[in-house]
Amino acid sequence: MEILGYKCRKCGQLHYPYRMVCKKCGENEHNEFDAVPLPRRGKLVTFTFLHNPPADFMVVKLPLGIVELENGIRVTGQLKIPKPTLGMAVQGEVEVVHESGDEKNYGMVFYPA
Ligand SMILES: [Zn+2]
């Protein structure tokens, strides 16, 4: 699945995740964004472990990281990296990160690049 960012048609600012109003020009109030694919590769800027996430995640410790993609956009995602280190190269995929009943939530998951 493609990772999509949202580019403001008025000023060109790229957003992720989706925003209703452009954070740069603030003038885009009509959802005038173009979906553009984001690069999958980036570097790990910071990470943390979420302890005791909701039971349906089925893990006791959930590693979360912030990754700066090759175009400078920062995204938050789950890490599937045994020993994450700051600045390491990672590669993102869009996966189901949370499931409850029939509802699937997609999010970013990062692997070592
Ligand atoms: Zn804008």
Q: How far is CA 106 from the centre of its chain?
A: 10
CA of 35 to the centre of ligand 1 (A): 14
CA of 10 to the centre of ligand 1 (A): 5
Cβ–Cβ < 8 Å for 67, 44? yes
Mean pLDDT of 13-21: 86
Q: Residue 30: its pLDDT value, please?
A: 64
Look up the pTM and report it.
0.80
Q: Can you give the residue ranges of every domain in the chain?
A: 4-37, 41-112
CA of 38 to the centre of ligand 1 (A): 18
Rounded to 10 degrees, the C-alpha dihedral 19/47/91/16 comes to: 10
CA of 80 to the centre of ligand 1 (A): 34
82-97: per-residue pLDDT in tens? 899 999 999 999 888 8
pLDDT band at 62 (very low <50, low <70, confident <90, very high): confident
CA of 43 to the centre of ligand 1 (A): 26
33-53: per-residue pLDDT in tens? 999 999 999 999 999 998 887
Residue 108, judged by CB atoms within 10 A of its CB (0-12, 13-18, 19+), counts as buried
CA of 33 to the centre of ligand 1 (A): 9
CATH placement of domain 41-112: 2.40.50
CA of 9 to the centre of ligand 1 (A): 7
Residues counted in the chain: 113
